[in-house]
Amino acid sequence: VLIELHRRTPAATGAPRDGAALTRLAPALHLLTRDHDQPLRIATLARRCGLSEAQFRRVFHQAFGHSPHVHLTTIRLRMAATLLSQ
């Protein structure tokens, strides 16, 4: 699911995708996907990855080309669309 979301999410800045960054962000991506219906804080996501909030934001933007908030909103919209289509 995470890989498919990553493939379908366009990079807002055209930044290259970084496989090492994706590996580093895997715990946060799992949490974003699993708990998309819950309020999530950047501090919680960063802690899961062993990063400071600033490092987490930077690595996330490097990997996806947008912020964690935009990514979570995209996941929520896709999940809602899936529920509506079913």
Whole-structure pTM value:
0.72
Task: Tell me how far apart the alpha carbons of residues 33 and 31 are, in angstroms, rounded to a whole number.
Answer: 5
Whether the predicted pLDDT of 14 surpasses 70: no
Q: What is the pLDDT of residue 12?
A: 44
- Using pLDDT thresholds of 50, 70 and 90, give the confidence band for residue 35: very high
> Is residue 76 within 8 Å of 23, Cβ to Cβ?
no
Give residue-wise pLDDT tens across range 41-52.
999 999 999 999
| DSSP per position, 21-70 | HHHHHHHHHHHHHHTTTS---HHHHHHHHT--HHHHHHHHHHHHSS-HHH
The average pLDDT across 44-70 equals 93
| 12: helix, strand or coil | coil
The average pLDDT across 1-6 equals 60
